[in-house]
Amino acid sequence: MTTRDRVAAAYDAHYDVMRYIAAQRFRVPPPDIRPLIHDVFVSFMRHYAAVGDERSWLVAAVSNACRNYWRDSKPSEVLTDTTDTRELIEDASARVDVLRLLARIPKRCQAVLWLRYVDGLSPEEIALRCASSTSAGYGRQLIHRCLRAVREALAVGVQEHS
Amino acid sequence: MSNHPDRMAILLYVEDESTEGAMVAEHLAGCDECEAIAEEFRRAFAQLQHRDLMGYYSVPDGDRDALRAAVLREADHVTEESWSADAFVADLLARPLGTWDACFERQPERRTSWVARRLFEEVELELNRRPEYALHLIGVAERIASFLSDVECRSVLGDAWKHRSNALRHLGRYEEALDAAALAESFHASLVTGEFDLAQAQFARAGTLFKMTRYAEALEVLGTAAATLRNYGNSVPLAKTIMLDAAIRIEEGDVGMAQERWREVLPILKHLGDEVEQARVLANLAECNLRLGAYEQAMADAKSSVDRYRALHMEMESIRSEWTIGMVHLARGESDDGLAVLENAAAAFETLSMSGDAGFVKLDVCEELLRREEWNEAEVTARGLASLFIAAHVTTASTRALDFLRRSVENRQATAETVRYVREYVTADDPARRFEPPSVAVN
């Protein structure tokens, strides 16, 4: 495998997790995420002969790079995130898997699930918002249908994975 | 509830909105199939309720493709620069060192981080053989660094000081080696992506502390380095860190902890596909197990090590593991087998002109023969020892110790303890130490 092929494969496999960590765990401003991940990959290319576990390496590297980013940007602030990298990998990977899952379901379902589980709307309110209906039962049907879509997407994902 | 509740009923129950909650709960308690459906809903809710996830999801990612293209351009650049650096450094190495600066003056575009790093590869090869020359190479790389961008400069300087620390350690200039490692750490710590290199600079410092027999400090530094490196998953530097830790434990006499470390590193080396180091670790594990009295495991590890060394055509190392096999036989009371294996190992060392190693194996043979009170055989062995060690250019004190052993055997006064006493002199082989015969109690 050439350097290019290996880097491309690593990027495609791990970019989402790396970006998620930089954006969500370390709150690095979006314009600064790109150069940060770029630098991590440059470092990866320099070290990859010694790397045995690309995912762990890249996640640890991006996490440390984020900590150092804040150290250099705001040296007076103590960064409290000292999460163990292995935990971080599991957590971030699970979340990114959900992101990929959500991308597989219809937009309407994404909106229904958002309203229910993020905004905390009741089934009646969802029915009203999404279908101009005042029926709580209809709202519950919508939620159920969307969860089923998630389940089916998950099943497809599991089959693809296996 | 005699029939299974439908999915909607289970959903309502999980969401705590069911009017038949008690009945559904009772059913779920006795029905794995429905409980699995309920669990699936619970998991989905738990995941969907991550607000940061949904917030992240709603923000479009415009960077992915552009960054991918940029990273791949960098990968292409790396490949080109590596090839170019290989060719240029090969050309440099064929010229006298004194002419190199002029080469860089004529070709300033060659002052790249890749040329500097290619020189560091050469440094690693030269460390054992010519550490002074390695220091010169490091100086050349350091001069290149001053022409690089800020980040590249600090990265190359960090590596330069790390390699300098290693070279100084090889030269026995330990205090300077420690200072050099500290500088390397400072450079790497100043970089956003410098943690992995920082841990390797710490490893270099630990190596010097080990040589200075400052074991507690070395272990503390290694602990810091290992904590960082573990986060990066299996890697060569992590394996090296654990192996140095194990070596220090052995020096401290903590065989149990050393064994733990060797066991820990073995799967890492397997994952990395490092056959040579796997064989070495198995050889070390065999020694640990022998010392801990775990003879079956010691035998298995030693045999496995021999097989691997043979497959790798590492004859000298293979004979050393055979030697361990012989010692395991002796420890298990299989004296004849042990002596046969040890005699073969000694002969194999002699074939490779490794008379010192052959001599140490013969000392073990002599000890066992004395234990068996086979005086004639022991006499022949003791006489042969002197010539083997003289060929290995040991000190006068060692020669006298061996002569003392020979006479003791001839006079039928030697015991296994006498051999151990003499072995200690020959192992130390200290020119400043005079040989003193043991007290009468030994004889």
Contact B235 A147 (CB under 8 A): no
Of A24, A85, A94, Cβ closest to residue B52: A24
Indicate yes or no: pTM above 0.90: no
Contact A98 B53 (CB under 8 A): yes
Sequence length of chain A is 162
Q: φ and ψ at A51, to 5 degrees?
A: -90, 130
Q: Please, are residues B260 and A82 in contact by the beta-carbon 8 Å criterion?
A: no
pLDDT at site B152: 94
Task: Count H helices and E strands in chain A, helices first.
Answer: 7, 0
Contact A52 B66 (CB under 8 A): no
| Top-confidence residue, B192 or A131 | B192
Distance from CA of A76 to the nearest CA of B (A): 16
Task: Tell me the C-alpha distance between A128 and A117, whole Å.
Answer: 16
Q: φ and ψ at B235, to 5 degrees?
A: -155, 160
- Picking from B232, B234, B242, B274 by the largest number of A CB atoms within 10 A of its own CB, the best residue to mutate is B232
Contact B71 A56 (CB under 8 A): no
Please return the burial class of B400, using the count of CB atoms within 10 Å of its CB with bins 0-12, 13-18 and 19+: middle
Q: Is B271 on the interface with A (CB under 8 A)?
A: yes
Task: Tell me the C-alpha distance between B157 and B141, whole Å.
Answer: 8
Contact B11 A143 (CB under 8 A): yes
Per residue in B238-268, pLDDT (tens digit) is: 999 999 999 999 999 999 999 999 999 999 9
Per residue in A75-125, pLDDT (tens digit) is: 666 665 555 666 777 777 766 766 667 777 887 888 887 777 767 788 889
Q: Is B56 on the interface with A (CB under 8 A)?
A: yes
Please return the burial class of B51, using the count of CB atoms within 10 Å of its CB with bins 0-12, 13-18 and 19+: exposed
Task: Tell me the C-alpha distance between B226 and B217, whole Å.
Answer: 14
Task: Tell me the C-alpha distance between B183 and B157, whole Å.
Answer: 9
Per residue in B271-310, pLDDT (tens digit) is: 999 999 999 999 999 999 999 999 999 999 999 999 999 9
Those residues whose C-beta lies under 8 Å from the C-beta of residue A45, and which sit 6 or more positions away, are A3, A7, B74, B75, B78
- Tokens at B269, concatenated: 């080396």
Residue of B nearest to A51 (CA): B235
| Top-confidence residue, A23 or B189 | B189
Q: Is B25 on the interface with A (CB under 8 A)?
A: no
pLDDT at site B21: 81
Q: Please, are residues B372 and B388 in contact by the beta-carbon 8 Å criterion?
A: no
Task: Tell me the C-alpha distance between B134 and B442, whole Å.
Answer: 49
- Tokens at A22, concatenated: 């930089």
Cα distances (Å, whole numbers) of residue B323 to B297, B298, B319, B377, B405: 16, 12, 6, 19, 22
Contact B75 A53 (CB under 8 A): no
User: What is the three-class DSSP state of A140?
Assistant: helix
Count of Cβ atoms closer than 10 Å to residue B189 Cβ:
16
| DSSP symbol at B6 | P
Residues of chain B with C-beta less than 8 angstroms from the C-beta of A11: 68, 71-72
Residues of chain B with C-beta less than 8 angstroms from the C-beta of A109: none
Strand partners, A51: B235
Q: Is A138 on the interface with B (CB under 8 A)?
A: no
Of A46, A60, A114, Cβ closest to residue B232: A60
pLDDT at site A73: 82
What is the predicted ipTM? 0.76
Count Cβ–Cβ pairs < 8 Å, chain A vs chain B. Answer: 156
Distance from CA of B76 to the nearest CA of A (A): 6
- Tokens at A158, concatenated: 């599991």
Q: Is A28 on the interface with B (CB under 8 A)?
A: no
Per residue in B386-407, pLDDT (tens digit) is: 889 988 888 888 999 999 999 9
pLDDT, mean of each 10-residue run, chain B (443 residues): 74 73 89 87 69 59 88 94 95 94 94 96 93 95 95 96 96 95 96 95 97 96 96 95 96 95 96 95 96 96 96 95 97 96 96 93 96 95 92 89 94 93 89 80 44
Contact A56 B192 (CB under 8 A): no
Cα distances (Å, whole numbers) of residue A61 to A6, A52, A64, B338: 17, 14, 5, 51
Distance from CA of B7 to the nearest CA of A (A): 8
**Helix then strand then coil, % of chain A, to nearest 5:** 80, 0, 20
- Picking from B14, B39, B57 by the largest number of A CB atoms within 10 A of its own CB, the best residue to mutate is B57
Of A12, A57, A65, Cβ closest to residue B192: A65
Q: Which residue has the tokens 């198995």?
A: B282
Q: Is B103 on the interface with A (CB under 8 A)?
A: no
Of B8, B56, B235, Cβ closest to residue A57: B235
User: What is the three-class DSSP state of B235?
Assistant: strand
Q: Is B186 on the interface with A (CB under 8 A)?
A: no
Residues of chain A with C-beta less than 8 angstroms from the C-beta of B277: none
Q: Please, are residues A84 and B228 in contact by the beta-carbon 8 Å criterion?
A: no
pLDDT at site A25: 82
Task: Tell me the C-alpha distance between B272 and B104, whole Å.
Answer: 37
Distance from CA of A143 to the nearest CA of B (A): 9
pLDDT at site B332: 96
Q: Is B65 on the interface with A (CB under 8 A)?
A: no
Q: How many CA atoms lie within 13 A of B146 on its CB side?
A: 5
Distance from CA of A127 to the nearest CA of B (A): 16
Cα distances (Å, whole numbers) of residue B191 to B166, B202, B348, B352, B362: 22, 15, 52, 49, 55
**pLDDT value at A161 more than 50:** no
Q: Is A24 on the interface with B (CB under 8 A)?
A: yes
Task: Tell me the C-alpha distance between B2 and A65, whole Å.
Answer: 58
User: What is the three-class DSSP state of B273?
Assistant: coil
Q: What is the mean pLDDT of chain A?
A: 82
pLDDT at site A82: 56
| DSSP symbol at A51 | B
